[in-house]
Amino acid sequence: MYCTKCGSQLTDDGLCPTCNTVVAEPAKPEEKKKLRGPEPGARNYAAIFTALLVFPASLCTAVDLSFHRYDFWFGYVVGAILVVWVCAVLPVLNITPAPITALICFVSIVGYVFYVLMKTGHIEWLFQRALPLFILFAVFVAIDVAMISSRKIDHLAILSAISFEIGVYIIAIEATYTKSLANLHWSPILACGFISVSAIFIAFSYIGKSNKKNK
């Protein structure tokens, strides 16, 4: 660089040796942060998984439209396939933030359950018995999806969370039908097993992180 006053060549620190003028180097424009897209392996997985789901969805739709004219059943199959795709592919693609991905999975599960129960005419049974279980299941799936898509939580911690959620869900199933936590019989025993496995997973996760920090 050269001095803007006398034209002499500047030193490395931007000082003119002739007139002692300090010439500031123009600031470089900040580069825009690029959104982290899906990795090549994730795109391949999404493509293969999607292709495998196209056949059963299209086959059931074609069969139902060909042989039935009034009460179509392919909506159950196509809806289930869409829910599976959302929960199994969307977190891996990492195209939306983890909370948004979790919310999409939650809405897809609850929406499909409402569709099935309204189609079968069991909507009253839904509100009396199954609604809390479905909502709890959707919440757990949303939490798991958020952990998987964040890529900041190791696999052992995710397995620990899933095992703990299974234990809680088992208790919720019996509590829904007994309508009282005081009358639980078999669910706490099974739940203790899953919660113990959860504690083991989280312990191994902690040990693994500690070993990495000490290296």
Q: What is the pLDDT of residue 164?
A: 93
Boundaries of every domain in the chain:
39-130, 153-210
Question: What distance lies between CA 7 and its chain's CA centroid?
Answer: 60
State the CB neighbour count (10 A cutoff) for residue 191.
20
Q: What is the pLDDT of residue 52?
A: 87
Quote the tokens at residue 213: 């920090």
Of 114, 45, 59, which is closest to residue 83 (Cα–Cα)? Answer: 114
Residues of the chain with pLDDT under 70: 1-2, 7, 12-14, 21-39, 68-71, 122-130, 151, 215
Give CA torsion, residues 147, 153, 154, 157, to 10 deg.
-70
Strand ranges (E), the chain: none
Please state, in angstroms and rounded to a whole number, the distance separating the CA atoms of residues 77 and 138.
Answer: 19
Q: What is the pLDDT of residue 199?
A: 94
Please state, in angstroms and rounded to a whole number, the distance separating the CA atoms of residues 214 and 186.
Answer: 43
Q: Are 53 and 81 spatial neighbours (Cβ–Cβ below 8 Å)?
A: yes
Q: What is the pLDDT of residue 23?
A: 63
Q: What is the pLDDT of residue 75?
A: 86
